Amino acid sequence: MSPTRGKGEGAVYQRSSDGLWCVSIELPGGVGRSRKVVCRKTKGNAIEALRALQDELARTGDIAKSTMQLSVWLDYWLPNISAPRNEPGTTKNQRGHINKWIAPALGRLPLSKLTPTHVRQLHKAVRDGGGSSTLVVQVHATLSVALRDAVREGKMRQNPCDLMDRPKGSTAAQKALTLEQTLSLFRYVMTRPLRHDWALWAAYLLTGTRRGELLGLEADRVGDVLDLSWQLQRITNIEDAPPNHVYRNVGGNLYLKKPKTKAGTRIIPLVDPLLSILAMHMEGRGPGLVFTEPDGSAIKPDEATRRWKKILAKAGLPEDVKLHGTRHTTVDLLAAAGVPAELRREIIGHSTREMTEAYRTKGNLPELTAAMKKMSALLSDETSRSDTSNTGSGKEAGQP
């Protein structure tokens, strides 16, 4: 009997049944004596394998066991590693990627056996299943981050996703309204002041905010500025919400979500004509959400999107311009008004760390206010000129 060896020292022997040279190395933890055994055709190759195992043990404190299947790791990874650091929506998407694509295609494979070829097979399975190129990118990202964490925890040596090119999604440009189309829609919206949602569309066109930012805007955050501290989100898996994230339920599965850090808060100066539009819209209203259904309940994000398409159709404009496209339109309007690129990025919210800090301190609020006034003046001037040119035409300005 060979003498007892310490953890990580290893043993080299030739197996009598098939003549292969094997190395056995004792692993830390576990119940009883846990070992990793690797066999090679020659003694030299076996010794090289032993040294690699010893290096891995010294580097990570453990050695990846080839018996752990990918599905077993994913079952542990999603609730214990990924969910605590992500938004519930991200966790929901990752769960869908795993259950529908990753586990069926690769789940039975051991972590240590995964290769770039297997990852490409996953890409093909998604495409063959009717998935778009964007979905391929998303599924790849879920697998990649799960395997990255497996490497960090010593469950595997190398992430095969790092050994290959990332898949590419669709490069189709986001459609946006032109300046002329924006003016047409703005005029149409202004002919509907008695409708409960007219101010909402004016606000989207004049601020470039994200869908949830305006739907989650509350009366006490409207003053000289719009304080976009919360966003309205539809969350069906709130149980997955990380403990350090703040949510407020506003009915059903609708929640107001607050940014994790102060840097995530965005401030937009409030100037005319939006200042007057919101004042008229909020007259007689109490605290709570600024934009609501007629009964005072929150507007569901999907419902806002549906109504956006409907109002585009009524105004005689292309219905394939997404509500998110108003952000691109605002960028174009700011550029047309001569607003510098740095301020455009700050207003729209595509900011670097330094710009985000400037938001938080509000040190550049006068510059942002001047920029918003330039854009608003552009819209007002163009609308006035267009209304004048249409006088006597027999057609009311703003009608499709």
Q: Please give the full DSSP string across 13-69, using - where no structure is assigned.
A: EE-TTT--EEEEEEESSSSS-EEEEEEESSHHHHHHHHHHHHHHHHHHSS---TT-B
Residue bearing the bigger pLDDT, 107 or 242: 107
Q: How confident is the model at residue 400 (pLDDT cuts 50, 70, 90)?
A: very low
Residues 95 and 144 in one domain: yes
Query: Rounded CA gap, 372 and 338, in Å?
Result: 11
Residues 204 and 339 in one domain: yes
Residues 111 and 228 in one domain: no
Residues 50 and 146 in one domain: no
Residues 242 and 363 in one domain: yes
Supply the pLDDT for residue 50: 87
The end-to-end CA distance of the chain, in Å, is 94
Highest average pLDDT, of 68-82, 229-243, 261-275, comes from 68-82
Q: Are 245 and 87 in contact (CB under 8 A)?
A: yes
Place of tokens 């989207």: 204
* Residue 211, C-beta contacts closer than 8 angstroms, at least 6 positions apart: 301, 304, 305, 323, 324
Stretch 103-128: mean pLDDT = 95
Supply the pLDDT for residue 30: 47
Query: Rounded CA gap, 62 and 155, in Å?
Result: 8
Place of tokens 């569309």: 201
Burial (0-12, 13-18, 19+ Cβ within 10 Å), 138: buried
Asked if residue 172 has pLDDT above 80, the reply is no
Query: Rounded CA gap, 278 and 275, in Å?
Result: 5
Asked if residue 380 has pLDDT above 70, the reply is no
Residues 295 and 200 in one domain: yes
Q: Which amino acid is at 30?
A: G
Supply the pLDDT for residue 5: 44
On whether residue 398 sits in a domain, the answer given is no
Return the percentage of the chain with pLDDT > 90, whole number.
Answer: 36
Query: Rounded CA gap, 119 and 158, in Å?
Result: 13
Residues 193 and 283 in one domain: yes
Q: How confident is the model at residue 63 (pLDDT cuts 50, 70, 90)?
A: low
Query: Rounded CA gap, 116 and 257, in Å?
Result: 38
- As beta bridge partners, residue 226 has 222, 268
Q: Which domain holds residue 102?
A: 70-163
On whether residue 248 sits in a domain, the answer given is yes
Residue bearing the bigger pLDDT, 366 or 384: 366
Q: How confident is the model at residue 65 (pLDDT cuts 50, 70, 90)?
A: low
Q: CA gyration radius for the chain? A: 29
Supply the pLDDT for residue 335: 76
Final residue of a structural domain among 60, 82, 99: 60
Supply the pLDDT for residue 193: 66
Of the candidates 71, 65, 1, the residue with the CA atom closest to the CA atom of residue 29: 65
Q: How far is CA 37 from the centre of its chain?
A: 43
Mean pLDDT over the full length of the chain: 80
Stretch 216-228: mean pLDDT = 90
Query: Rounded CA gap, 285 and 296, in Å?
Result: 10
Q: What are phi and psi of 40, to 5 degrees?
A: -135, 165
Residues 147 and 206 in one domain: no
Of the candidates 67, 2, 72, 58, the residue with the CA atom closest to the CA atom of residue 27: 58
Supply the pLDDT for residue 54: 82
Final residue of a structural domain among 60, 83, 100: 60
* Residue 200, C-beta contacts closer than 8 angstroms, at least 6 positions apart: 214, 291, 299, 304
Residues 196 and 265 in one domain: yes
Supply the pLDDT for residue 1: 37
Query: Rounded CA gap, 266 and 347, in Å?
Result: 8
Query: If DSSP codes are grouped into helix, strand and coil, which group holds residue 387?
Result: helix
On whether residue 4 sits in a domain, the answer given is no
Q: How many domains does the chain have?
A: 3
Residues 74 and 55 in one domain: no
Supply the pLDDT for residue 353: 37
On whether residue 321 sits in a domain, the answer given is yes
Tell me the pTM.
0.64
Supply the pLDDT for residue 385: 55
Residues 92 and 217 in one domain: no
Asked if residue 31 has pLDDT above 90, the reply is no
On whether residue 3 sits in a domain, the answer given is no
Q: Are 73 and 146 in contact (CB under 8 A)?
A: yes
Burial (0-12, 13-18, 19+ Cβ within 10 Å), 52: middle
* Residue 346, C-beta contacts closer than 8 angstroms, at least 6 positions apart: 355, 358, 359, 364, 368
On whether residue 65 sits in a domain, the answer given is no
Residues 217 and 294 in one domain: yes
Supply the pLDDT for residue 264: 55
Q: How confident is the model at residue 391 (pLDDT cuts 50, 70, 90)?
A: very low
On whether residue 2 sits in a domain, the answer given is no
Q: How confident is the model at residue 381 (pLDDT cuts 50, 70, 90)?
A: low
Query: Rounded CA gap, 47 and 38, in Å?
Result: 10
On whether residue 292 sits in a domain, the answer given is yes
Place of tokens 């942002």: 368
Asked if residue 232 has pLDDT above 70, the reply is yes
**pLDDT 10s digits, 296-342:** 999 999 999 999 999 999 989 988 888 877 777 777 777 777 777 77
At 373, which CATH number?
Answer: 1.10.443.10
